[in-house]
Structure 1
Amino acid sequence: MKRHSTMYKVLTCLMIFALAFSVNLAGSKNSAEAKVRTPIYKNPDLPVGLRVIDLMHQMTLDEKIGQMVQPERTSVTQDDIRNYGIGSVLSGGGSVPQQNTPQGWADMVDNFQKGAMTSRLGIPIIYGVDAVHGHNNVKDAVILPHNIGLGAANDPALMKKIGSATAEEVRATGISYTFAPCLCAPQNIRWGRTYEGYSEDPKLVGKLGTAVVKGLQGNKNSKGFLKGDKVVTSIKHFVGDGLTKNGQDQGNVTEYSDKEIQKFIKPYQKAIKAGARTVMVTYSSINGLKTHGDRHMITDVLKRDLGFTGFVISDYNGPQQIVPGDFRASMKQSINAGIDMFMIPNDWKQFLTVTKDLVQKKEVSMDRIDDAVYRILRVKFENGLFEEPYADRELVAKGVGTQEHREIAREAVRKSQVLLKNKNKVLPLKKNGQRIFVAGKKADNMGYQTGGWTISWQGGSPNWGGAPEADLTKGTTIYDGIKNAAGKNTKVDYSADGSGAAGHDVAVVVIGEPPYAEMFGDRTDLGLLQEDIDLLNKVKASGVPMVVLLQSGRPMIVTDQVKDWDAFVASWLPGTEGDGVADVLFGKYQFTGKLSYTWPRNMTQINTHDKSNPLYPIGYGLTTKGK
């Protein structure tokens, strides 16, 4: 016998109305056709809410709990999806099919989907992936600048185009759900995810993040609106990213009052109002309470106060951190706190068993289960999955990395470059007759240029500590861009170690951080690497004027070195379109980027949150206009 919640019983009354309504729709048909009436939930002409109610009316407890889990693709099979009624599957960072092509992705996702569509009720899965700066797991997709660069560009119209282009590339692989954008406003740049935040200013984060959501999802309406070449977004990570003590990843927020935290909630409020349909919860704690188990923050603030009607998803194994070593207690607290979908890559069978037991022992109510399932199914209906569960093969054939999308990325790159110093107007570079020396291995290496979350979780380095891959994915390096823009009468030489600079008119020296993601990027010292200091000193000894480009996921401490530089450009992590850097170096376009973070003089300013008298203030950025 099925168990039903109070909420569910009330909603069933609406289902009865829907049944009568659907029968009326069939009134013009003969009686034989009426006897084979399409189930309400499969009727695309009916409102989404009524379709959800009808489907839930037919679901067992096991099927409902199955909808609440999201395994990793490597730990689930087509048969598992069919037999357990799994609701979602994900690819973690770098988890890719054997053939890392649009065709390979679409075939893999469709194979999983066949398991869902041949289950008793035919409820499709929703497949999720981290497309956080373009469709970054896919070989030869367009890789956009990381969010810190897009914050410097500060162009909402461009952000909407970026969202649309990313959605098209995600759909080209048969996927309709991305865990993006990140709406954090990092306050301590020691944090290894700083580059995922558009700015330290929550207002700017809200403006740009909302524009991306609109591009990814399209315009909100009463029926399914996430179809075709649009995808479901997951704004993340609610809430407290970048506020933790000492910038520790997955750490504790202790230095901000409830009132102060409210301003960091505002970006989520704006994105929800714009239609964001899922929210991912942060690993962080607030005053010692893991947010994955914080009922006040998830249910009271997010669902009630902000009026969020989509589903709340956990981060990767996030719920297990609530009561370490006690899976059952962790799941109980997390479900009751308001998590709807559980990203549990490997232990998903244990989740199914434990959750059923919690319900049967009345430690988790059916109201809570029905709320979660209702939210999940509503997003799936909005996503058009019940009508079009499989990959659109026309979009797959179009592929990723189109020239149109590369032009959007190139625009983003040039608008993200921030000119911080330009002594004697050494920039823009001259196109004809100048002898240009390009120095540094990071000038001609796609791994360094694209950073973390590119093809693999940690970016171009296949093993942490290894050398970033120069040919990681298709694109144009900064060195290539300079050669392309220089003109046929301009001599461009290159040296990875800086040897041979003497005799040139100008040296473009590229320095920066190696690829990293999440906790692997946490730092106690944000000074330049010794290898970069050695490179700078070698070029400096030649007496050639230096234009220094810093590729990094945050401001670095350069106070002692910048006095020796003739020009200084914050290039951030520009992605695959190095031509965009050359566009502004040679003056084809003016520098327009402005700092979206305060640039500190020293580590003390970072550690004490002292933003007075910085090396460069937020909003700073020069132009080459008038040269």
Structure 2
Amino acid sequence: MTMTARMVTCLLVWAAALLPMVAGVRACAADDDAAAKKADGWLAAMTLDEKIGQMTQVDFKAFKDLGDITRLSLGSVLCGGNSDPDDITPAGWAKAQDDCQALALKARLKIPLIFGVDAVHGHNNVDGAVIFPHNVGLGASRDPSVVEKAARVTALEMVGTGIRWAFAPCVAVARNERWGRTYESFGERPELAAELGPAAVRGLQGDSLAAADSVLACVKHFVGDGGTTNGVDQGNTECDEAALRQIHLPGYVASIKQGAGSIMASYSSWNGKKLHGHKYLVTDLLKGELGFGGFVVSDWAGVDQLSPDFKAAIDQSINAGVDMVMIPNGPGQKNNYVEFIDKLKELVNEGKVPASRIDDAVRRILLIKARMNLADHPYSDPALKAKVGSAEHREVARDCVRKTLVLLKNDRKVLPLSKSIKKLVVAGPAANDIGIQCGGWTIAWQGKAGDVIHGGTTVLAALKEALGPGVEVVHSADGSGAAGADAAVVVIGERPYAEMFGDRRGGKDLGLPADDLAALKKVREAGIPVATVVFSGRPVLLGPVLESSDAILAAWLPGTEGRGIADVLLGDYKPTAKLPHTWPRSMEQIPCNPEDGAASEALFPFGFGLSY
């Protein structure tokens, strides 16, 4: 099928969405005259060096001298992966942002920078912040208001530290559970991304980007990252354009209509061509057909992957439509930010990157900064900083948690547990482990088991609190000592991981750790009712778990508020969530989407979920 024919095939599908979107863009433009004038004024006064500086985003730990922010008129700073400030308390993060901002405002034109972080389930690299369920759990809620509330609290905690740009939401449609980023997706169906992505944008950006408590959303990763062959991270999505549009594009169409101000390009490829250099998708489709008026940022060193020749890679990416380039390396390292600036300037002077392309990229960035009123609110907000991790914010997260839990099995009506029982065993390695409960992208890039964050409540602590001193609650990580108890709650799960390291390929399966299964088996042998809580970023293999459990609660990666799990276990909230993924019986059934033949033989179908 030719490109023209494929586009005609999709035209009627998108017409209804595009027309109101275009109308919305026009209405928004009418309200943004002041911001446009400010952006145009900045642009008219800028030298080429200053323009390229605005297109450069440098990782905080890449600086040898923070004074480069002033000297090079840099437009953005990020903390990505594990490149956090040494002090990761709210005060430490606020100081890092405020120090960078003060240097930006010393430059000739005093254009504020925008500081970005991967706040993907709360302000998740800040010690003491509230950590929300990852997107896979929010997808199970099927509730846009839940997603919006989580994003709004995240925005408030970010603004408290002065940070106004979240690299979220991820609207990937995860089609293969081997993918280590499955939990960053709302689910396997495009409708979930199209409904919940805009809700996250609303929560982050609020009613207006101009508000002092607004945070710029960054919808990612454009486009098709969840559909790579065999679920390989940064891999190749192999499909025709009609399928790309039908499955992977709806989340972007809806998020743009909602007013998302930035979009991140994907590491992945579409039919062999990397997205960071894909002019048709980034410029023609995203900016042209879809009318996206914000700016496109690269992923972490994503431009580098286009060519071993860094200058050629810059040429490809900027001409493809990438507006801001994320650079993790400092002077003296491979492909550093000084080299990027020098080589992009060379490309402009050689006529390989048109001056008009530079002006378009810079104007997009400046327009967002002007719309955000960054110049009027450049620093952290002490009042909001004091509310990071507050009881009020934790109650929002608690409500989110209980609305994301999927009841998969409940034989003999073991759940809800009676609050009048005499003795409850709470077993399993994850029962009292906040790190496992939160998963990846929590303090550390890959996450970490153990006491990684201050604040929050484990399942064990939540059950003890809810049941009170009248019930004997016994903790047993390995499952021993369960005999004679009235019931047991066994908490098991995947160990924390994030992108790349979470992929399951080369013979690796989605089975749970041996220690967890051994603990569950030991409790089962005690002959008491067993309710199992499973922490996972995707459907995992449940064979032994099914055999050893009377009840199973899929809790995903719920974050810091274990009280939400206790609410469901004890019947204070009846389960309402439904599976955002078809749940396979075995690895042989993956991929296991509703369109795949294997789905009919799945363990649980998409949308499954019991209640009391």
Give the alignment's TM-score, normalised by structure 2: 0.91
Residue by residue over 1:333-360, the C-alpha shift from the partner in whole angstroms, topping out at 9 and shown as x without a partner, is 0000000000012111111000000000
* Aligned position for 1:425: 413
* Aligned position for 2:442: 454
Secondary structure of the equivalent of 1:149? helix
Please, which moves more after superposition, 473-482 or 386-395?
Answer: 386-395
* Aligned position for 1:464: none
* Aligned position for 1:17: none
1:485 equivalent to 2:474? Answer no
Amino acid at match of 2:549: W
* Aligned position for 1:210: 198
**Among residues 269, 275, 278, which one is paired with 2:259 in the alignment?**
275
**Among residues 75, 85, 94, which one is paired with 1:97 in the alignment?**
85
Residue by residue over 1:177-218, the C-alpha shift from the partner in whole angstroms, topping out at 9 and shown as x without a partner, is 110010011000100000000111111111111111011101
* Aligned position for 1:290: 274
Amino acid at match of 1:334: S
CA distance in 2, matches of 1:390, 1:411: 31
CA distance in 1, matches of 2:312, 2:153: 42
* Contact 2:521–2:548 (8 Å) recurs in 1: no
CA distance in 1, matches of 2:84, 2:290: 35
Amino acid at match of 2:443: I
1:187 equivalent to 2:175? Answer yes
* Aligned position for 1:249: 233
**Among residues 319, 329, 336, which one is paired with 2:319 in the alignment?**
336
* Aligned position for 2:69: 81
* RMSD of aligned residue pairs (Cα, Å): 1.4
Amino acid at match of 1:459: G
1:198 equivalent to 2:186? Answer yes
Task: Give the CA deviation at 1:453.
Answer: 0.3
* Aligned position for 1:12: none
Task: Give the CA deviation at 1:471.
Answer: 4.8
CA distance in 2, matches of 1:45, 1:542: 67
CA distance in 1, matches of 2:146, 2:134: 14
Residue by residue over 1:362-384, the C-alpha shift from the partner in whole angstroms, topping out at 9 and shown as x without a partner, is 11001110010000000111111
Secondary structure of the equivalent of 2:91? helix
Secondary structure of the equivalent of 1:599? coil
Secondary structure of the equivalent of 2:311? helix
* Contact 1:432–1:488 (8 Å) recurs in 2: no
1:207-606 counterparts in 2 under 5 A?
207-220=195-208, 225-254=209-238, 256-263=239-246, 264-323=248-307, 325-346=308-329, 347-396=336-385, 398-460=386-448, 468-524=449-505, 525-606=509-590
Task: Give the CA deviation at 1:408.
Answer: 0.6
CA distance in 1, matches of 2:230, 2:555: 25
CA distance in 2, matches of 1:258, 1:267: 16
Residue by residue over 1:306-330, the C-alpha shift from the partner in whole angstroms, topping out at 9 and shown as x without a partner, is 100000000000011011x211111
Task: Give the CA deviation at 1:607.
Answer: 4.4
1:51 equivalent to 2:24? Answer no
**Among residues 141, 156, 181, which one is paired with 2:129 in the alignment?**
141
Task: Give the CA deviation at 1:153.
Answer: 1.2
CA distance in 2, matches of 1:247, 1:436: 40
* Contact 1:432–1:487 (8 Å) recurs in 2: no
Distance 1:469 1:226, change over 3 A: farther
* Contact 2:435–2:452 (8 Å) recurs in 1: yes
CA distance in 1, matches of 2:337, 2:564: 44
CA distance in 2, matches of 1:589, 1:527: 29
* Contact 1:226–1:232 (8 Å) recurs in 2: no
1:35-74 counterparts in 2 under 5 A?
47-74=34-61
Unaligned ranges ≥5, structure 1 = 1-43, 461-467
* Aligned position for 2:25: none
CA distance in 2, matches of 1:375, 1:333: 19
Task: Give the CA deviation at 1:472.
Answer: 3.0
Task: Give the CA deviation at 1:575.
Answer: 0.5
CA distance in 1, matches of 2:62, 2:136: 34
CA distance in 2, matches of 1:563, 1:441: 19
Please, which moves more after superposition, 163-172 or 524-533?
Answer: 524-533
CA distance in 2, matches of 1:409, 1:312: 30
CA distance in 2, matches of 1:387, 1:115: 16
* Aligned position for 1:123: 111
How many residues get paired?
567
Amino acid at match of 1:517: A
Amino acid at match of 1:63: E
* Contact 1:413–1:581 (8 Å) recurs in 2: yes
* Contact 2:517–2:544 (8 Å) recurs in 1: no
Amino acid at match of 2:316: Q
Task: Give the CA deviation at 1:402.
Answer: 1.0
Distance 1:448 1:57, change over 3 A: same
CA distance in 2, matches of 1:250, 1:218: 31
Residue by residue over 1:440-486, the C-alpha shift from the partner in whole angstroms, topping out at 9 and shown as x without a partner, is 121001110100000110112xxxxxxx2235332100111111112
Amino acid at match of 1:568: I
* Aligned position for 2:100: 112
Secondary structure of the equivalent of 1:128? strand
* Contact 1:431–1:487 (8 Å) recurs in 2: no
* Contact 2:433–2:458 (8 Å) recurs in 1: yes
Please, which moves more after superposition, 333-342 or 45-54?
Answer: 45-54
* Aligned position for 1:463: none
CA distance in 1, matches of 2:435, 2:479: 19
CA distance in 2, matches of 1:93, 1:172: 21
Secondary structure of the equivalent of 1:343? strand
* Contact 1:67–1:88 (8 Å) recurs in 2: yes
CA distance in 2, matches of 1:498, 1:563: 16
Task: Give the CA deviation at 1:81.
Answer: 0.8
Secondary structure of the equivalent of 2:42? helix
Task: Give the CA deviation at 1:45.
Answer: 10
Task: Give the CA deviation at 1:388.
Answer: 2.2
Secondary structure of the equivalent of 2:243? helix
1:157 equivalent to 2:141? Answer no
Unaligned ranges ≥5, structure 2 = 1-30, 330-335
Task: Give the CA deviation at 1:413.
Answer: 0.6
CA distance in 2, matches of 1:178, 1:107: 18
Give the alignment's TM-score, normalised by structure 1: 0.89
* Contact 2:410–2:552 (8 Å) recurs in 1: yes
Task: Give the CA deviation at 1:46.
Answer: 6.2
Please, which moves more after superposition, 556-565 or 539-548?
Answer: 556-565
1:23-42 counterparts in 2 under 5 A?
none
CA distance in 1, matches of 2:135, 2:555: 12
CA distance in 1, matches of 2:164, 2:149: 18
Secondary structure of the equivalent of 1:444? coil
